[in-house]
Amino acid sequence: MRFHALTLAALAVAMPLAAVAVSAQSEITHAQPVLPTVPLKIQTARGTIRLRVEVARTGEQQEVGLMFRTAVPPHGGMLFPTEPPREATFWMKNTVIPLDMVFIRQDGTIARIITAKELTTSIDDSGEPVAAVLELGAGRAASFGIREGDRVTWKR
């Protein structure tokens, strides 16, 4: 099927507007309840880091994430598994605390670590397909000695 240039232009304008309308209807206004947790281990050069993290499994849980939370437990965080692995993108809208984002490959190795500033709408991405993203309080990855290439395991 062929589209005329005018039809394509109309679609290019209408589709983002439709997405904005849907987003506005589902505006997130408060933190979600604490999600079920799992133990998670990170093998670093310093040794094994043991955490207990919430798991955001559903699309809705992942959309809300840590928005409106005012703290992350020192040995806690939130895990965002993706199946199948894909490039992951995040923003910090309505997230009132800065976070470390740890992007985890399918084999469990850490692909990338970034620190995201609170309350921003700029997009941060994994840079490659990942099986999960782990969010920790800002600075925790460095304080634990977590680096790219370290291995993460959790009960899937």
- Give the number of domains in the chain: 1
Q: Beta strand 78-90 with 99-104: parallel, antiparallel or unpaired?
A: unpaired
What CA–CA distance (Å, rounded) separates 69 from 109? Answer: 28
Q: What is the pLDDT of residue 128?
A: 98
CATH of the domain at 71: 2.60.120.1140
Task: Give CA torsion, residues 82, 84, 86, 92, to 10 deg.
Answer: -20
Whether 91 contacts 136, CB under 8 Å: no
pLDDT digits over 65-120, tens only?
A: 999 999 999 999 999 999 999 999 999 999 999 999 999 999 999 999 999 999 99
Is the pTM higher than 0.75? The answer reads yes
Instruction: Compare 20 and 102 and report the one with higher pLDDT.
Output: 102
What CA–CA distance (Å, rounded) separates 112 from 140? Answer: 14
Residue 6 domain-assigned (yes or no): no
Range of the domain at 71: 29-154
Residue 111 domain-assigned (yes or no): yes
Residue 11 domain-assigned (yes or no): no
What CA–CA distance (Å, rounded) separates 77 from 45? Answer: 21
Residue 84 domain-assigned (yes or no): yes
Which has the minimum average pLDDT: 89-93, 131-135, 150-154?
A: 89-93
For the cut 80, the answer to whether the pLDDT of residue 54 exceeds it is: yes
Residue 81 domain-assigned (yes or no): yes
Q: What is the pLDDT of residue 35?
A: 98
- Sheet with 47-55, strands from edge to edge, namely 110-116, 99-104, 124-137, 78-90, 47-55, 37-44, 151-154
Q: What is the pLDDT of residue 156?
A: 84
Residue 12 domain-assigned (yes or no): no
What percent of the chain stands above pLDDT 90? 81
Amino acid at 105: R
